[in-house]
Structure 1
Amino acid sequence: MARKHATVANPTVPRPCPPGEPFLRTRFTLPTRPATFVRRQRLVAHLDHALTTPLTLVNGTAGAGKTLATADWAAGLREPVAWLTLEADDRQPGTFWAYVFEALRTCAARTSRTGENHAVGAVGPGSLTSLAADLNARDRPVVLVLDAYDRLTEPEVGRQLEFVLRHAGQGLRLVLVTRGEPALPLHRYRAAGRVTEIHDAELSFTTAEARSLLRLHGLCLPEAAVRALVERTRGWAAGLRLSALAAQESRDPERCLKEFEADHGAVADFLLAEVFEGRTEETQDLLLRVSVLDRFCPGLADALTLRRDAEPLLAALHRENAFIERLEHSWYRLHPLFREVLRAHLHARMPGLEPELHLRAARWLHHSGFLLETLAHGAAGGDWDLAAGALVDDLAIGQIFTGPSSHTLAALFSGMGPEAESPASNLVRAAEALGRHRLDHGLTRLRRAEWQLSRAHDSPGQTAARMSCALLDALAARLTGCPARAERAAAAAAELREGLPVRLLDAHPELVALLRTHVGSTRVWEGRLDAARAVLVGVSSAPGGSATALPRAEARGHLALIDYLNGWIGRAERRALAAVSEAEGAGIGWLVLAAVAVERQELDRARVLLDKAARLPAQDHDPVSVAGRALAMSRLLLDNGEGESAVETAEPAVPAETASPWVRSHAAVLRAAACLADGRTREVSRLLQGVCDGPPVCTVEAAAIQAAAGRSRAAVDALGSLRADQHTGPVVTVGTALVQARAAQESGDTATARRLVARALLDARRERLRRPFRQAGEWLGPLLATSALHELADGWLLTGRPPGHGAPPRSVPGPAPLVPVELSERERDVVRRLALVMTTDEIAADLSVSVNTVKTHLKSAYRKLAVNRRNDAVHRARELGLL
């Protein structure tokens, strides 16, 4: 393909007008490109492909810039170009061909005298054969551009043009600039790869091209403003130009473009004149009515027009590029600007009809199973009972709390007025209030809905509503710390499930997952840890993707808390990390991570984690979360030497109907430890009464406090309440061994004491469990000074030479590796932020680098530290003294 380096006009050869009606010479001239024209090299390159195929279609909407883009390309060609702008009068074959012959003659493309002197309307049939033969005999092809080809509606013209194209061989390159597909056998050309096509998607301006266009209009706007304008106009050339012209007249161009009203001014005039007016009354009515919809299909459009002609009308509009885009499965949508113009026109032509159109759409969409769109149109139509009824009937009330639609639903139903009084509307109000922890309001609405349902006849809809009641009952039970109510809700839900369609239950796994999570949370609060685990394990692996992400994360967080209470801090940490990675808002996961950090005596990290958890709104209302925070914070304060603050924090005022045994036990243990630290040993036994009801970790810690208070025999006896079938973890086994070792040491059995301390060290080393040794007291120092025990403690609990008698153990870096580990400064920066439990995105933002750069540094740090996980990287870096 050959192109000129400079833009020149095609030569014209002046000839006298033929006999009869004269030709309009302007129709043979390339359109003038304005000063604000933007040459888009990607379109030029695509059009260059037209020189290799017989047929090219530049098919786009009105104002898409197809004529100017094609003219710009044609002006740079070395090949002869015959340009013809068509008019509606060219529908007659004679007129059309007379102008084609004249266009070819004008660019000196004819080689014979056949047809040379044809006047308008006087072209005979033999001329087409002669024309095809002349073109086929050419050494170089001629490019024939027919602009506005959509104005030709006569099928005979299409058949004749295809005849000439087929027999012209390599001598003709036909370019049709059109708003719709021409009546040509395009399937043949497409199948043979003999057609070049450019459509709206390619004609649309990119952000960079739009920026260039705006600059040519004297506008220099921020990238975000240009991007927003391109998104709103979908890159439509005329829309961009008209918007730019309007902004030129404004003192604040950026604000003008942001608040640009398409339904007023030049854009509206253009779209109404070029796309809307001149169409049949039925088509105009259809366009006006579907303008209330984001997307539509023929069936939905028929529901709005109350006719049955939408399918052919929509297909025709799409073929004609009438600013209507086809989506998948026969669904369509209007161009955003065209939709704005049509909605304004709808208000003017048919005032007051829009709410009814929304309700017709809502009813059709509900019947067809499109829930979110049903809710949106029901709300837009003002029928809140319809919208709430659709949500409840579909068993989708759980989506108010979890899933990608939760914020949308919360915003949508926030506008519900007091006139909505159906059971479904009251259930939605109750869900919204409970989700915001407005307990009194939520419970009032829930009781009213239950009363309304008790007076209604049974039906599938009533069963779904009662299932929604069970979910909200379980949530209310969780928020109020009422296990009995939660169990009643669970039993009711199990019975109701038998009467619900399986397809609905399968479509909304979040409902059952949420309900079971609430029940599991109340069981944790009640201290029934095994029963809680039984229900939460299934939720932690629930299907449903993003719909069940929050209950999955909360279930894992509760399971992590159960593991912590049973002494399995490593397992608790892994589950907590899984919880916060699933959903960062799962606050219990952060609290468990903080509690684990305290057990490992990583107090700075524990404080960071607690601060992160405190920023989550749910932490002020969920009893288990409030208690979990108090547990971790009070232990942190105690270990930091702030005993008075620790006691004040230990047992927060939780508005729960039932007291939690593990919360009470932990508070008692902490108060006793604070008393012991103050030397008030006489109060210890009184404070520790009832701790036997608590979890195993409380029992062991209480025994350790008793032993430190000089009651070793009572401490050992207290350990007898631990059952072998409780499957307790290292915190319990280590604490138990240390209490028994202390008793053995005090009775003079040093060998037994050493053996028990060795067992404790072995169990603790795997979990990096330091707190029990820090709390043990001075009796442990002499034992750790022995070489055998010092070797077990060295590298993670002790440092340097064996400490002297009475010297407390202290945390230190681990042993040096065989090969020295050196992290770059940037790798250290990244690992330091890992220690603060920052996400990859947060690290990238904090360091002002890309996420990919952070990932690269992480991979390098992992390799150097010989680890595979972020938590292991932090611990290894600490052990090596790199942080």
Structure 2
Amino acid sequence: MTSPGLDRERDAFRQSADGKTPRPPLTLVTRERLHSALDLGVGSPLTMVIAPAGTGKTVLLSDWVTRRRRAGEPVVWVPGQAPGSLQGFLERVAGAEDSQLLDPIVVDDAHLLPASTVAALARVLQEAPHALRLLLATRYDLPLPISELEIRGMALTLRSRDLRFNDAEATELVQAHAGNATADDISLVQEKTAGWAAALVLAARTLQASGDVVWPLANQRPVLDLLLGETLNTLDERVLAMLLSTFATTSLTGQLAAVLSGDSEAGSMLEDLAGSGLLVTAYADESASNPLYRYHPLLVELLRRRIATSAKDRQFVVTAHHRSALYYESHGASEAALRSALDADDVELVERILFGHGPALLAAGEAALVEAAFDALPAGYVGQHPQLYGVRGLLRRVTGDVAGAVQDAALADEVASESAPDALADAVLLRLWESRYGWHDVHAAIERARSLLTRAVLGPERLAWLLIELAAAETWADELDAALSHLDEALVTARMAGHHQLIAGGLAHRAVVQHVRGQIQSAAQSARAAVDAGGERGLPPEYAVRAQVVLGFAAVSELELDTACGYLQQVADADVAGSDTVVAGLRAMLRAVLLVERGRLGEALTELTSDPVAAGPLPTYLSRDLALLRSWLATLLGDKITVDAQLTVLERTGNATEAELIRAMTSMIQEDVPTALKLIEAGLEHPDIYPPLASAAASFRTVLLDRTGDDPAAEAALVDTLNRVTPQRMLHVLTSAGDEPAFLDRLRRHATGPNPHPFAAAALEKLSDYQAGWSQAGGMTPLGRTRPDANTPPPRRLDAVVNGARIRLTAREAEVLDQLALGSSYAEVAQALFITENTVKTHLISLYRKLGVDKRSAALRTARSVGLL
């Protein structure tokens, strides 16, 4: 027990020293978690609450003191600016060891205590800690044996990070000051203040007065500057310089802070600041052993205003940006390097990063950043540094300034022979792009690019982009093997560089090459991989349309027509789709296929009337695919003349084997079944036949064999058909056969038989659910026209002698003549025949010319007289 004399000393001190406890505000938020911490801490000799002004220290302690006093527990409150007889009391209790009767002593603003009093506190805590129960609130650490006591379990420290208002507390505090605050308002306030008590209250009052949170809090700025400015003024000059050098970085490591500030001790400074919790917060980084540091939003705002008014402070920032540009450049972070160079206002540094990394940034979708960098260069600067022509040309190309890109391409080409390899690569890359539009010879451009690749060492991003552009030109020039080889090289290079957009570009181009080779599902896999590689940024439009059109065809192939329509819409919405000839051709064909599937045969015919915009003759694969699609549509319409015309196109463009197989498949209309089978068998013997067409022909053979009654041969033909369609899931090519009940019956028996093909059940399910829109619209395949139970009308007479000359009508002209005889208008004829009114008029002009008339009534009269009606 303590001595009566000491007890009297304590009573006297309590009566003389107990200052007036500040009354908690009416809008107090009681923070139970912190009260519990203080209740725990008061059982030890020392509890420290260390945090800058405005963090709620006094409010917290006064609320805690009030609660304890209401419970009948004595507490002494001592203001730091008026410590009274605290020092004398400390000296008299220094030798005491029993603290059972000692009241807790709360010292507010302890940083204002005289040095002698702090020294006395330190002495008692070292010599007789059990004689005290102290709670000290201070804005910064005091020279007390805190660490020693914490190790012995005799001290508790609460810092700014502990005093920050969590979301629930912040909500209660803001609503107490602004009853009209919404959840979004509170979320914004909490985000901007990071739980700092004073700023929360000021923001809430602004909200209550104005009805809106306008950030920054202009009318409250003096208060914020006072609170934070006081904190900044206590910092060492080196620490302040480090903050000014690094505050513009969203998050940083100690190593990066050292780079930006040029101070090797920056990491230690950040660690110390994070200990206080107000200015800096440390976060665990799962990807690294060192923590990440972030600055309080209000501190960032204050520092930003400070550099705006101080040239000296501004220089810290400029120097830091210059260091960071060099740092990021050396670490391959070209985007961050260029942004830092722009902030450093260093023209030469901007130029060097633009030239070295501009193409990589453009390929990554950073056109806006590259454009900002060019805008930051002085007038005439590019002309004085001609190596930038190529980079600017690439920028203009990706931003749609075709005229500017062509102009820069010419300038880059003029100086190419005297330029470094990177500048020459840019010029060659632009030339490859131009050659695909007929502005330069594509083969010459390809050879020039190949020559460059054999003798120049390029950076990985430039090399990958050049290889992709070379492959695009080779694809246009029908050199598909070379294109695939260069795309593989591009993908390896882009992956080594970790450049996701170039990886995506290589995959998207590969998808197109695989598609035109009939590798439909392989192409779809490459397209999906391209989309995945694009990540959150997504694919640049030039690459996206390639992936989407390929995925659209893959969906058609699997009879997922609604999905295909979705992809077609994405392609149609893209500005770049029409400017790329290959994509434009594929887009037109995809739309035509879907129109046919919806039964809109006239619109499909219009879509396929003209070739896509082309730089000279179309590649053979585009000519092939367009001719095959046009011949299919003409077959559905019974237009043999158009079918024959498309066969001629196939032969002229080097696709004679495909033409031979189309003739075989349509021969059944004129020939008997055995003859048609023999022709189809001969066509299928060609090993390099286009796989989708071969699969369709195999399905025709199955139906014809079924009609002959040769069940074993028909069964073998069905298995061969399934073997052909399975690898690429080419279900769409089976729809003509699938429209035949006999084919579905055989497929059903096979799928439920003892040894079914692995793909038979899936094919049966899809084809059973499939509704042929073209069939419902009156289209007929050769199988349908020759079906044994079909009531096929006798062949329409197309030949006649008019005015002594023999004429022959086309099938379409005959259909138009029949519609005229029914009294149909031009619009009604167009609707009935699924063609446009302009097409109707074109057929009428030809019809009138052949009949030697100039109006409808005369045409009908003449046609009847010669037996055409």
TM norm. shorter chain > 0.5? yes
The 5-angstrom pairing of residues 151-230 of structure 1 reads 151=112, 154=115, 160-168=120-128, 172-189=132-149, 191=151, 195-230=155-190
2:214 corresponds to 1:257: yes
Measure how far apart 1:756 and its partner are. 1.9
Could you say which residue in structure 1 is the equivalent of 2:34? 43
2:557 corresponds to 1:599: yes
Tell me, yes or no, if the aligned pair for 1:521 and 1:624 is still in contact at 8 Å. Answer: no
**Residues in 1 aligned to 2:602 and 2:579: alpha-carbon distance in whole angstroms:** 25
**Pick aligned residue for 2:646 from 687, 693, 714:** 687
Tell me, yes or no, if the aligned pair for 1:64 and 1:204 is still in contact at 8 Å. Answer: yes
2:195 corresponds to 1:235: yes
2:714 corresponds to 1:756: no
**Pick aligned residue for 2:296 from 332, 335, 344:** 335
Could you say which residue in structure 2 is the equivalent of 1:814? none
Measure how far apart 1:621 and its partner are. 3.6
Q: Which amino acid aligns with 2:501?
A: L
The 5-angstrom pairing of residues 476-875 of structure 1 reads 482=442, 485=445, 488-489=448-449, 491-493=451-453, 495-497=455-457, 505=460, 511-537=462-488, 548-583=499-534, 585=539, 586-650=544-608, 653-656=612-615, 659-691=618-650, 702=662, 706-707=666-667, 710=670, 712=676, 718-719=683-684, 721-723=686-688, 731=692, 733-738=694-699, 740=701, 752-753=713-714, 755-761=716-722, 763-764=724-725, 769-776=730-737, 782=742, 794-798=764-768
Query: CA distance change for structure 1 residues 194 and 632 in 2, over 3 Å: closer, same or farther?
Result: farther
Q: TM-score, normalised on structure 1?
A: 0.69
Query: CA distance change for structure 1 residues 768 and 495 in 2, over 3 Å: closer, same or farther?
Result: closer
Could you say which residue in structure 2 is the equivalent of 1:832? none
Q: Which amino acid aligns with 2:137?
A: V
2:78 corresponds to 1:72: no
Could you say which residue in structure 2 is the equivalent of 1:100? 86
Tell me, yes or no, if the aligned pair for 1:211 and 1:226 is still in contact at 8 Å. Answer: yes
**Pick aligned residue for 1:86 from 54, 58, 80:** 80
The number of equivalent residue pairs is 727
Query: CA distance change for structure 1 residues 314 and 537 in 2, over 3 Å: closer, same or farther?
Result: closer
Query: CA distance change for structure 1 residues 392 and 170 in 2, over 3 Å: closer, same or farther?
Result: farther
Q: Secondary structure at the match of 2:629?
A: helix
Tell me, yes or no, if the aligned pair for 2:125 and 2:145 is still in contact at 8 Å. Answer: no
**Pick aligned residue for 2:308 from 347, 350, 362:** 347
Q: Which amino acid aligns with 1:625?
A: V
Q: Secondary structure at the match of 1:227?
A: helix
Tell me, yes or no, if the aligned pair for 2:396 and 2:404 is still in contact at 8 Å. Answer: yes
Measure how far apart 1:151 and its partner are. 4.3
Q: Secondary structure at the match of 1:369?
A: helix
Query: CA distance change for structure 1 residues 276 and 237 in 2, over 3 Å: closer, same or farther?
Result: same
Measure how far apart 1:313 and its partner are. 8.4
Query: CA distance change for structure 1 residues 74 and 409 in 2, over 3 Å: closer, same or farther?
Result: farther
Q: Secondary structure at the match of 1:35?
A: coil
Tell me, yes or no, if the aligned pair for 1:696 and 1:732 is still in contact at 8 Å. Answer: no
Query: CA distance change for structure 1 residues 587 and 138 in 2, over 3 Å: closer, same or farther?
Result: same
Measure how far apart 1:378 and its partner are. 3.1
> C-alpha deviations, 1:821-848, integer Å up to 9, x for none?
xxxxxxxxxxxxxxxxxxxxxxxxxxxx
> C-alpha deviations, 1:358-394, integer Å up to 9, x for none?
543333223333554442243245545532422433x
Could you say which residue in structure 1 is the equivalent of 2:320? 361
Measure how far apart 1:535 and its partner are. 3.5
Query: CA distance change for structure 1 residues 454 and 266 in 2, over 3 Å: closer, same or farther?
Result: farther
Structure 2 residue runs without a partner (length 5+): 1-8, 753-759, 771-783, 791-869
**Residues in 2 aligned to 1:708 and 1:372: alpha-carbon distance in whole angstroms:** 64
Q: Which amino acid aligns with 2:696?
A: G
Measure how far apart 1:300 and its partner are. 9.4
**Residues in 2 aligned to 1:300 and 1:600: alpha-carbon distance in whole angstroms:** 52
Tell me, yes or no, if the aligned pair for 1:229 and 1:257 is still in contact at 8 Å. Answer: no
Could you say which residue in structure 2 is the equivalent of 1:438? 401
Tell me, yes or no, if the aligned pair for 2:326 and 2:337 is still in contact at 8 Å. Answer: no
Query: CA distance change for structure 1 residues 479 and 210 in 2, over 3 Å: closer, same or farther?
Result: farther
Q: Secondary structure at the match of 1:797?
A: helix
Query: CA distance change for structure 1 residues 84 and 415 in 2, over 3 Å: closer, same or farther?
Result: farther
Q: Secondary structure at the match of 1:177?
A: strand
Q: Which amino acid aligns with 2:203?
A: S
2:349 corresponds to 1:386: yes
Query: CA distance change for structure 1 residues 795 and 668 in 2, over 3 Å: closer, same or farther?
Result: closer
Which deviates further from its counterpart, 216-225 or 78-87?
A: 78-87
Tell me, yes or no, if the aligned pair for 2:325 and 2:340 is still in contact at 8 Å. Answer: no
> C-alpha deviations, 1:100-143, integer Å up to 9, x for none?
35xxxxxxxxxxxxx55xxxxxx75xx3532xx2xx41337743
Query: CA distance change for structure 1 residues 472 and 267 in 2, over 3 Å: closer, same or farther?
Result: farther
Tell me, yes or no, if the aligned pair for 1:626 and 1:654 is still in contact at 8 Å. Answer: yes
**Pick aligned residue for 1:275 from 227, 231, 238:** 231
Could you say which residue in structure 2 is the equivalent of 1:398? 360
Query: CA distance change for structure 1 residues 687 and 292 in 2, over 3 Å: closer, same or farther?
Result: closer
**Residues in 2 aligned to 1:304 and 1:262: alpha-carbon distance in whole angstroms:** 33
Over alpha carbons, which structure has the higher Rg?
2
Query: CA distance change for structure 1 residues 637 and 220 in 2, over 3 Å: closer, same or farther?
Result: same
Q: Secondary structure at the match of 1:76?
A: helix
**Residues in 1 aligned to 2:632 and 2:679: alpha-carbon distance in whole angstroms:** 16
**Residues in 1 aligned to 2:354 and 2:200: alpha-carbon distance in whole angstroms:** 40
Q: Secondary structure at the match of 2:142?
A: coil
Tell me, yes or no, if the aligned pair for 1:527 and 1:662 is still in contact at 8 Å. Answer: yes
Query: CA distance change for structure 1 residues 315 and 776 in 2, over 3 Å: closer, same or farther?
Result: closer
Tell me, yes or no, if the aligned pair for 2:433 and 2:469 is still in contact at 8 Å. Answer: yes
Measure how far apart 1:632 and its partner are. 1.8
Measure how far apart 1:597 and its partner are. 2.7
Q: Which amino acid aligns with 1:363?
A: H
Query: CA distance change for structure 1 residues 224 and 641 in 2, over 3 Å: closer, same or farther?
Result: same
Measure how far apart 1:455 and its partner are. 4.7
Structure 1 residue runs without a partner (length 5+): 1-11, 91-95, 102-114, 117-122, 457-461, 809-883
